């Protein structure tokens, strides 16, 4: 029953996360793009802020998942693993929001290499990345435990569709040593999974089937005019052909995003201050709490969960 609730929460979160993406891109989705010189390109720069109260991180009790001791090396010290899917600066800037221009059909070279996602300390890094349709993502296991990689594309109409589901085996020569000590992260054999998204779908989601607190998101782009916001929420997109385009701002956990029409002037710089609405309410299957029902004693044997890599708050 507990795993069912977790999966239900996952699919509900996916549907909410892609709501605006489906609406924005359904009519304008075009993969063709030509390379040309941009002699008087413009720039768009600015900041993306989170509007509203910072949501609590999602909580996952470690004793309900495999490898509680190892994965508990990053935890809150009481047996909970936290997913901080919102990283916000003291000034309110939101990290890992994607900003992109739709409608640019020709411009600077579009070279996107296959993105590499690491499974390290039971966490996917990076949390947000960029993919190209028809290309692939590479996932590599840096942990001395097995992961199960599940990749999905998604839409509101038909929900999540599995792109691949493959065990990510650890390197058998991994120098794990004392699990409570810093060990050598030795890469295992990598998984290269193709990303062939159906027409109108732009979001790619990856989760570990063994450790639900491991997730990573990606957006498929059709031109090189995009940026991910930094730790302060700032972004900059340069060398844009002069013209009028749709500016889209999206974060996988905010639900409705932002779309607006912008005009880029020759050799000009357009400054934008944008905001995304913070979600409200409980966003995970369980609320983090001290509860004997979720305590290590319920396993029937001693478990020493210590956040030696990162003590989460």
Pairwise CA distance, residues 168 & 184, whole Å: 18
| Selection from 64, 60, 59, 63 nearest residue 304 by Cα | 63
pLDDT tier at 231 (50, 70, 90 boundaries)? very high
Higher-confidence position of 166 and 90: 90
Q: What mean pLDDT value characterizes the chain?
A: 81
- pLDDT > 90? residue 114: no
210 Cβ neighbours under 8 A, 6+ residues apart: 65, 66, 67, 146, 147, 148
> Domain map of the chain by residue range?
2-38+62-87+103-229+278-311
What are the C-alpha distances in Å from 101 to residues 22, 79, 98, 222?
16, 43, 10, 9
- pLDDT > 60? residue 57: yes
User: What value does the mean pLDDT take over residues 63-83?
Assistant: 90
pLDDT for 151 equals 85
pLDDT tier at 204 (50, 70, 90 boundaries)? confident
pLDDT for 277 equals 93
CATH of 2-38+62-87+103-229+278-311, one of 3.90.320.10, 2.60.40.420, 3.40.50.720, 3.90.1150.10: 2.60.40.420
pLDDT tier at 7 (50, 70, 90 boundaries)? very low
pLDDT for 25 equals 44
pLDDT tens-place string over residues 141-197: 888 889 998 888 766 555 677 877 888 887 776 766 666 666 667 777 777 766 666
Residue % of the chain over a pLDDT of 90: 43
Q: Which residues of 48-69 are buried (b: 16+ CB within 10 A; e: fewer)?
A: bbbeeeebebbbbbbbbbebbe
């Amino acid at each position: 029953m507990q795993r069912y609730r977790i999966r239900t929460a996952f699919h509900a979160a996916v549907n909410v996360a892609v709501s605006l993406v489906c609406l924005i891109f359904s009519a304008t989705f075009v993969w063709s793009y030509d390379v040309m010189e941009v002699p008087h390109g413009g720039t768009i720069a600015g900041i993306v802020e989170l509007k509203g109260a910072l949501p609590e991180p999602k909580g996952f009790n470690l004793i309900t998942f495999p490898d509680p001791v190892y994965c508990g090396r990053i935890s809150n010290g009481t047996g909970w693993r936290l997913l901080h899917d919102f990283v916000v600066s003291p000034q309110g800037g939101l990290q890992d929001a994607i900003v992109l221009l739709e409608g640019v059909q020709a411009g600077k070279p579009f070279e996107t290499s296959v993105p590499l996602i690491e499974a390290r300390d039971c966490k996917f890094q990076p949390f947000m990345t960029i993919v190209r349709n028809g290309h692939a993502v590479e996932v590599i296991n840096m942990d001395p435990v097995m992961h199960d990689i599940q990749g999905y594309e998604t839409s509101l109409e038909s929900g999540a569709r599995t792109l691949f589901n493959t065990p990510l085996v650890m390197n058998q020569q991994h120098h794990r040593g004392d699990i409570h000590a810093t060990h050598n992260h030795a890469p295992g054999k990598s998984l290269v999974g193709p990303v062939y998204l159906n027409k109108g779908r732009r979001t790619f989601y990856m989760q570990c089937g063994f450790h639900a607190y491991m997730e990573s998101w990606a957006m498929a782009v059709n031109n090189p005019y995009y940026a991910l916001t930094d730790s302060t929420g700032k972004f900059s997109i340069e060398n844009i052909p002069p013209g009028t385009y749709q500016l889209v701002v999206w974060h996988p956990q905010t639900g409705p995003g932002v779309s607006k029409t912008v005009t880029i002037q020759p050799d000009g710089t357009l400054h934008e201050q944008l905001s995304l609405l913070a979600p409200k309410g409980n966003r995970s299957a369980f609320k983090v709490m001290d509860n004997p029902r979720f305590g290590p004693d319920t396993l029937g044997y001693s478990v020493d969960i210590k956040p030696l890599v990162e003590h989460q708050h």
